[in-house]
Amino acid sequence: MKFDICVVGLGYIGLPTASIFAARGKRVYGLEVNPRVVATINGGDIHIVEPDLDVLVRAAVQSGNLVAGTIPVEAETFIIAVPTPFQHASGDPVPDLSYVESASRSIAGKVAPSSLVILESTSPVGTTEKVKEWVDGERARLGLPATPGAHYVHCPERILPGQMLKEIVTNDRLCGGLTPAAAERARDLYRVFCNGEIHTTDARTAEMVKLTENSSRDVQIAFANELSLICDRLGISVWEVIRLANRHPRVKILQPGPGVGGHCIAVDPWFIVHSAPDLAQLIRTARQVNDQKPAWVVDRVKGLASRLKEPVVACLGLAFKADVDDLRESPSVQIAEALAHLPGVSLLVDEPNVNELPVPLRKANVRKVAAAEAIAGADVVVLLVNHRQYLSLDRDLLRDKVVIDTRGIWS
């Protein structure tokens, strides 16, 4: 059976993409290396937290339009949606494209002369060209003929965890092809579900646009985070400063936090820095400001806890943003792990969107408890994520507690 679409990687981007195409009548095959994820999806269930995604996946599977598996299949279109993390080197972090390369080589034997190959993964400039090189190289290694007519496109996602199913439909889309014909073909495909405008360009521009979007956010957050450090030293409420400064008609300062996490904003700026390290001075500095914020939070907790005998610290939230289960690059996890190893400190952690704590915290014998229990047993309460459960928390629980509110929801 030849499928309309093969989505490589069924994670936070691949699964919503696969399921919405299937919901619009496309025959979709999800290629996934994790057998447990394959079994979960084929059972009509999901392995990530995202509002209403379970309903969409269940309907897509029951209709027969969505099937998951671990073996590559033939398809008219291949969509690569795998992670693009970075590696920590001696200097600045460098992009890790091993997942994209592995995905490209895995489908190479199924790519036909008329295939459309789409890279959705956010990637450094030039990666779409590398996908073509990896596919062509793998086909040559397998003794298969070249496919000069295949189309290669970069179509970065622009969706926010917690609002994926809404934004995947309503947000504008970008299709950057190695050729104009490739971009147009991808545009026609995404018209199946995308109600936003679909813009076509070349692949390198599309890659740079996505990196620019996330780097812009990172720079703006860095300003807010740096401002929070200065205000703390001067004994001023940063929340009040930002609230009043934003009354200016041309000022819109973002909110500070314990750092910046997730697979996009915390990663993508390094891709730009790597491509032009001598020029990306502001982008590098912003990334460093945000990367250093978790250590500042830890130092504040240490300073307050040192005044207490055998202090108990409660950390509320581990996800990189509110109301999701995504712990990737989360500053909250980094903070909790550092606190777990402070001598004489006992740590309680609540993260309502995951069933168990990350391995380093479990190895440190950190207890996962509900928020109210964590607060009741703690001397110091550290709010790290503004989950909706914490917004409505009874403030009387915080009475007589030392509180560090990194999100400003109780300030």
Question: What positions carry a catalytic annotation?
Answer: 210, 264
251 within 8 A of 280, measured Cβ to Cβ: no
Q: Measured between alpha carbons, how far is 20 from 15 in angstroms, rounded to an integer?
A: 9
Single-letter code of the amino acid located at 53: L
118 within 8 A of 77, measured Cβ to Cβ: yes
Single-letter code of the amino acid located at 358: P
67 within 8 A of 41, measured Cβ to Cβ: no
Query: Can you say how many angstroms the Cα of residue 158 is from the centroid of all Cα atoms in its chain?
Result: 11
232 within 8 A of 185, measured Cβ to Cβ: no
Query: Can you say how many angstroms the Cα of residue 99 is from the centroid of all Cα atoms in its chain?
Result: 15
368 within 8 A of 357, measured Cβ to Cβ: yes
Q: Among 168, 135, 293, 299, which Cα is nearest to 221's?
A: 293
Q: Among 60, 310, 263, which Cα is nearest to 271's?
A: 263
The pair of structure tokens assigned to 152 is 């290669």
The pair of structure tokens assigned to 219 is 């720079």
- Does an H or E element contain 402, and which? strand 402-405
Three-class secondary structure of residue 129 per DSSP: helix
Q: Measured between alpha carbons, how far is 410 from 407 in angstroms, rounded to an integer?
A: 8
- The residues, any chain, with a CB within 8 Å of residue 221's CB and separated by 6 or more, are 254, 256, 257, 260, 265, 286, 290
